[in-house]
Amino acid sequence: MVHDIPIVVMRASEYEYYRPPDVPPPQVQLELPTAKGFKNVIDRLKNLSRSVVLSGDMAGSLTLRADTEGVTIQTFFTNLTPRFESLDEDTCASNKCKLKVDAKKMANVLHAYTFLRFHSIIMCMIRDHSLILHVLLEPAAAGTLTFYLPIVPFVEDDEEEDDGAGGVEYMNEN
């Protein structure tokens, strides 16, 4: 099989347009589960709501929430691996972050689960800025794909979040 893929050499003056954006350090970095469960949850939530609220902490918990007019659906992921590569473990161990992202954009990014061989996916949550997903390809020499998702502005509720009442799905990843 032969593929004809055109290659265009980029001019030095165009480099700035392709440079990764400058972003502040993340509050929360978690290694996402490699099972298809995470992608499947996002795919189902995008059919219910235009956006998904992600709440994560460096203790290894992640909550996905979709709000509709009649119902709120939450899925909890526990025992995720926190990543401290660019963070001070002593000062960041209790960090929490809540973001709202477009559900369809998130689902499109996670579509990489289907076609790529990867070692892991690292999710970086940056409050009031963005959600970044680093897909560490397998083998390691193949590199990393980085996806930058903009956040959707939202007003946080003053109410306490549900701590696990009926109708809530829990997923444990070991």
Q: Which of 31-35, 60-64, 93-97, 149-153 has the lowest mean pLDDT?
A: 31-35
Q: How confident is the model at residue 155 (pLDDT cuts 50, 70, 90)?
A: confident
What average pLDDT does this structure show over 88-92? 74
pTM for this entry: 0.79
- Span 66-72, average pLDDT: 91
Is residue 97 within 8 A of residue 127, CB to CB? The reply is yes
DSSP symbols for 46-92: HHH-SEEEEEEETTTEEEEEEE-SS-EEEEEEESPEE--TTS-HHHH
Domains of the chain: 28-153 (3.70.10.10)
pLDDT value, residue 60: 93
Q: 8-43 burial, b if ≥16 CB within 10 A, otherwise e?
A: eeeeeeeeeeeeeeeeeebbbbbbbbeeeebbebbb
Distance (Å, rounded) from C-alpha 34 to C-alpha 139? 15
